[in-house]
A and B are shown apart, each in its own frame.
Chain A
Amino acid sequence: MTAGRTVTCPSCGGTIEIKAAGYTVNVGCQYCGSVLDVANPDVKLISEFQMAARKLELPLGSRGTVQGIEWEVIGYLERSDDESLWHEYLVFNPYGGYRWIVRSEGSWSWGTMLPEEPSNAFGNAVSWNGQRFSQDYDDVPTRTDYVLGEFYWRIKTGDTVQAGFYEGSGDTSLSCERSADETSWTYVEDLPDEAIEQAFKTPDGSPLPLTGGPVAPAPPPSYVASGFEATKPRPKGEWGFIWKVAFGTLAACLLVMLFFGMGHSVAKNQIEVVLDAPARSYTLGTFTTTRSYQPITVKAQSVEQFDNKWVDLDYSLVNKATQESIDGYGVVEHYSGYDSDGSWSEGSYSGKAKFAGVPAGTYDLVVEASMHTWSGGSSSSSTSSFTNPWGTATGERFHIDIEASTGGVFWGNFVVIALLLLGVPIFLFFRQFKGSGTTSSSDWDDDD
């Protein structure tokens, strides 16, 4: 629409069109991700980011008709709790108000905010519109990780609410979010894929960039080696030189990685986890690094053996001076069972998490640990309770030794470097001999 109000992003200078003028309070700039306050005539910068905005499955400005009303996508949130992450799109029609489109694990659902609170019903349930909705799990903290577009309330990255989920009949549910200031309820209906994917059109008419949505928590940030670039293609006849340089560089990289990778223990402790209990936080120790970018490896080793269980280990290196935290994730898991192919087992009683570049400073190593029973594959787990001598009951305690050391050899990086160093010569090598029409096996011999 063109009748809206426009503001200029104080961070990147981009022109942002406010679609729901009069309602919108905060805007996440679609160019740089900075969050702006537009509640008052003078636009204020709340948090500044200098980053390219995400590519959305439903780009801002896309429109589609759902339940007889045309809606425009005006806002986008990425949210997560301890177990999953999902995307939420805020859609608007000036005559219909606001709705939510939720994208989670490949499916779509449709949320309508309730103006009133449902009434309490017998048991862990509420009643709304003559329907009963029951809560099977306790409320969990839910975090907003990323914000783009415009919103009718104050919003920022890192906002956390307690979210509860109430299951209704059929494909309906109620979601309840509680913060210190208010409680809001949303009625959620599952939608078939085509109800969104065929209904919505991007502003420029291009197909929706559908990806299936978020599926699993993001892995810890990986360390990407810099300074190593692919060697440039060289004229034919210099193969000996090319291979020598490639392998020589690779060997040098390996030596450097091993040299800097060898480190010493900086913090060591044992924690106790209770099976299927809520996650608990432990501070394992404090250490100081002086190198400007220090790799840190955290190794977890289970004292007891167990089966069909896993331990989630969310590590944080909290800088004592700035309170900034570097997060990583580790797991200790072991499963076994019996199926048509015989007995199987997989997993390991130890697990490593690596932090690539930890800046110099003094850190607390904190871990939030929780242990869970694997209930998937019911037939195998019922068998394993007989065959497995470590079969344990809920509430049982396990001990995990956790040790952080400086260093860490990032083998993934070594593979990347090897591919970069050797990939181009190998490619050129084959292309060259394919072009000459002779068989490659004899050429290999010739060249060696």
Chain B
Amino acid sequence: MATINCPSCGAPIELRSAAVPYSVCPYCQSVVMHQGDQPVEVGKAAVLPFDVSPIQLGTTGEVDGVRFEVVGRVRWGWTDGSWNEWLLQCSDGVERWLGEAMGMFQYLTEKPDAMMDPLLQRFAAGGPIAIAEQAVIDGITFAASDIKEAKCLGGEGSLPFPTPADWTMVSVDFKGKTGESLSVQRDAQGTGAYEGRYLDLAAMKVRGLRQIEGWTLPEALK
């Protein structure tokens, strides 16, 4: 794994994904952009609050024959709680995230063509979405089921964007009639759509989980 030195504190930063332009220094929380000739500090990320997530940077897994490695994380908070989004570097080159909330995992695949839907276009242009409004993607009807305004609580590892402390977004969850799900997120930079599906850790064949004090890893996940 390539490393660079943090332009702020000099500590080594592992570049977990060459394709991803930003990394958070694990020592001083500086957000470092490393796409150009020289790494540049672009800001500071908040220190992640302690949590008992079983996922960590470096955790690997496999879904539908595509292998992945966890290379970064953003933590989002809203009025009634918080959740993690883990950036996956995938063997097929597609951008994916592992959403983690309430002890459940959602495997999210970027779905750029979903943004063609008129409702999502209106949302991307800054318009509102109400609960139960519908979007149709690939012939599947999705209804908005949950709308949250979230604020970035911090980040770690390699990320496709810097994670400034005042970074906020609107996140809308949609549900299909037979278990499909869709997540649409809008921030100051733009709007993205992700197709989701709930999977448990064993189904994703994860390895390299975080060891949490006081708990043993279940056999199926060792």
Contact = CB atoms under 8 A, between A and B. Distances in A.
Interface of A: 1-5, 19-23, 25, 39-41, 68-70, 92-98, 113, 115-117, 119, 152-154, 182
Nearest to A95: B54
A94 B215 contact: yes
A98 B217 CA distance: 16
A41 B214 CA distance: 23
A152 B209 contact: no
B104 to A, nearest CB: 5
Interface residues of B, number: 38
Interface string B75-88: 00101111010000
Which secondary structure dominates chain B's binding surface? Answer: loop
Given A21-B49, A23-B103, 15 more contacts: A2-B214, A3-B214, A21-B50, A21-B51, A21-B52, A23-B52, A25-B81, A95-B201, A95-B221, A96-B103, A113-B104, A115-B198, A117-B175, A153-B80, A182-B145
Interface in B64-82: 77, 79-82
Interface stretch (B17-25, B30-38, B120-128, B176-184): B176-184
Contacts, number: 97
Contacts of B145: 182
Contacts of B181: 116
Which secondary structure dominates chain A's binding surface? Answer: loop
A2 B50 CA distance: 13
Interface of B: 49-54, 77, 79-82, 84, 101-104, 106, 145-146, 175, 177-179, 181, 198, 200-201, 209, 212-221
B50 A97 contact: no
Contacts of A92: 103
A89 B101 CA distance: 20
Which of A39, A153, A182 gathers the greatest number of chain B CB atoms within 10 Å?
A: A39
Contact of B216 (A5, A25, A70, A97): A70
The 4 closest A-B pairs by CB, nearest first: A22-B51, A1-B214, A97-B103, A115-B198
30 contacts: A1-B212, A2-B214, A3-B212, A4-B52, A20-B52, A20-B103, A22-B49, A22-B82, A23-B81, A23-B103, A25-B80, A39-B77, A39-B82, A40-B77, A69-B218, A93-B215, A94-B53, A94-B103, A97-B104, A98-B102, A98-B103, A115-B106, A115-B198, A116-B181, A116-B198, A117-B175, A117-B179, A119-B179, A153-B81, A182-B145
